[in-house]
């Protein structure tokens, strides 16, 4: 191959790599990265880290990034602005969830042994019982891109990094996973009856904080889930029957 041909091949290869990079960075039509629209909203995409109930990063989460439909992202930004006037902000724990991640959860339940942070996330409940008790399901509204798992932080407060260890998720505020200085009764993804929105076994302060979060999300078009204080789905979601499986990258 002469020098001219080598240059042509090199340029073609460079162009291909550039196209591949653009393709890898693209999202399906109608989806956005929240950070690009609202970088100030706190994120701790827990399934991209080992600190979740499985004890390992979950398939489909290539990086820690909140991806949502544009409609859900816009509504979330409005909820954040609403809360700012009350001295709070949002903290995202999960957004769009690839269908392969949902399948990985159900597979994990069926596999005895292996990694498991049950002492933190499902204290007192056997791993094999999580599906029967409704804590893990075979499909998720998260895969449609308009559902978020979200908590509260104090506006302007120091960011809390991803925890690495803790006591039970439904234990005292001082010993459970430290996600925020705002007490919400349990930590995120706590497989416990105390995670139910109106549970009476949490402090009055935690109930008020849950109500504050729920009110702001409801005002901007999100529906809550009675068994999980952190879970909200946009009522008018753009893909109400379409689960997606692209990688968060």
Catalytic site includes residue 193: no
Dihedral sign, CA of 50, 54, 60, 64? negative
Structure tokens at 187: 């930590």
Spatial separation of the C-alpha atoms in residues 72 and 221, rounded to whole Å: 9
CA distances from 216 to 75, 88, 122, 222 (A): 10, 11, 28, 9
Say whether 191 sits in a helix, a strand or coil. Answer: coil
Catalytic residue among 65, 80, 220, 228: 228
Helices (H), the chain: 3-25, 34-37, 70-84, 99-110, 118-121, 204-219
Beta bridge partners of 223: 233
Active-site annotation, residues: 228
């Amino acid at each position: 191959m002469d020098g001219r041909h080598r240059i042509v091949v090199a340029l073609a290869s460079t162009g291909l790599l550039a196209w591949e990079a653009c393709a890898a960075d693209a999202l399906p039509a109608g989806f956005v990265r929240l950070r690009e629209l609202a970088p100030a909203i706190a994120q701790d995409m827990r399934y991209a880290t080992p600190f979740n109930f499985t004890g390992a990063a979950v398939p489909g989460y290539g990086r820690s990034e909140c991806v949502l439909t544009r409609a859900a992202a816009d509504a979330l930004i409005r909820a954040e602005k609403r809360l700012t006037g009350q001295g709070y902000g949002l903290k995202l724990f999960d957004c769009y969830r690839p269908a392969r991640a949902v399948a990985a959860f159900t597979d994990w339940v069926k596999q005895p042994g292996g990694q498991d942070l049950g002492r933190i996330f499902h204290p007192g409940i056997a791993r094999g019982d999580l599906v029967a008790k409704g804590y893990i399901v075979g499909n998720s509204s998260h895969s449609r891109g308009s559902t978020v798992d979200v908590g509260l932080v104090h506006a302007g407060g120091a960011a809390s990094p991803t925890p690495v260890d803790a006591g039970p998720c439904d234990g005292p505020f001082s010993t459970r996973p430290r996600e925020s200085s705002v007490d919400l009764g349990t930590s995120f993804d706590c497989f416990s009856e105390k995670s139910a929105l109106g549970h009476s076994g949490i402090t009055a302060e935690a109930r008020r904080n849950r109500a504050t979060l729920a009110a702001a999300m409801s005002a901007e078009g999100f529906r809550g889930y009675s068994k999980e204080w952190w879970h909200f789905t946009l009522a008018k979601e753009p893909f109400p029957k379409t689960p997606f499986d692209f990688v968060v990258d």
